[in-house]
Structure 1
Amino acid sequence: MTTPFEDSPATDISLWKITLGELDEKMGVKITEESVQRVVATMPVEGNRQSFGLLHGGASLAVGEAVGSWAAVIHASTLGKTAVGIDVSATHHRSARQGQITITATPIHLGGTLTTHEVLIANESGQRLCTMRITNLLMDKRK
């Protein structure tokens, strides 16, 4: 059996590795785990707060979309494809004023055309701050 990666044996699949973008670096994102089944990152609350001293909802959405998209691209890489986000939704349950948050993306659906991931954002006590769902379209890589 071969894969789309230049006829290499299926056991030699090279998964895409996460590279932080400029915004991710400015937000202080750190990757702690990356696989098709789970991507985990952390981010400090400090530096990502809004004017009332709370974790900015936009910061939660930005990091959640990044982690969910990274998870989709890792899956897409097993098919010789890439992924682009087409839908994201979020519910904010509570906020944080300090500490570090953990962002975890797990697959709901891993297809050949679409992926959907649940992204959970939790505080250091494990309390859920935000629940997100992101859907990505899998596309052939541009040459």
Structure 2
Amino acid sequence: MTHESLPPWTISLGELDEKMGVSILEQSAERVVATMPVEGNRQSFGLLHGGASLAVGEAVGSWAAVIHASTLGKTAVGVDVSATHHRSARDGTVTITATPIHLGRTLTTHEVLLTDEAGRRLCTLRITNLLLDKPATVSSVEP
């Protein structure tokens, strides 16, 4: 099977994603879209926590990178993430959308936007992932 014909990796939520209430709406190498409730992800002043924005943004951007990498027979690991908070939210649902800036053979860079229900930009992230060969699987050996 050539790398071009490999099926793309499918997103599986991690423990933090589940605790934050993340739901996947769309997944492909060109676009990953998820949602997250503000409730349960607020800081002490009642606003969406900046750390929650970074955590969900990094997850969605990394998922997009892994989907791309999987079609090349590789995996992806994050090497850089930065974010700008534009405004906050007190309630409702946040939509997180990752789109590629660059899809290479060794690096990917994605822009990740967090928007509120009115479509206003809350946070912009940029994440870069390094594409690595998948580690060889170890076959089980009977004692």
TM-score range, shorter chain: over 0.9
Equivalences, count = 136
TM-score by length of 2: 0.93
How far apart, CA to CA, are the structure 2 residues paired with 1:26 and 1:140? 30
Q: 1:51-90 alignment to 2 at 5 Å?
A: 51-90=44-83
2:129 is the counterpart of 1:130: no
User: 1:3: Cα distance to partner?
Assistant: 1.5
Distance 2:2 2:38 in 1: 41
RMSD in angstroms over aligned alpha carbons?
A: 0.8
Identity %: 79
TM-score, normalised by the number of residues in structure 1: 0.93
**d(CA) in 1 for partners of 2:70 and 2:113?**
23
Matches within 5 A, 1:29-108: 29-108=22-101
Unaligned segments of structure 1, at least 5 residues: 5-9
Unaligned runs of 5+ in 2: 137-143
Q: Give the superposition deviation at 1:13.
A: 2.7
Residue of structure 2 in register with 1:117 after alignment: 110
- 1:142 paired residue among 128, 135, 142: 135
Which stretches of structure 1, 4 residues or more, deviate above 3 A after TM superposition?
Answer: none
Aligned equivalent of 1:13, options 6, 26, 39: 6
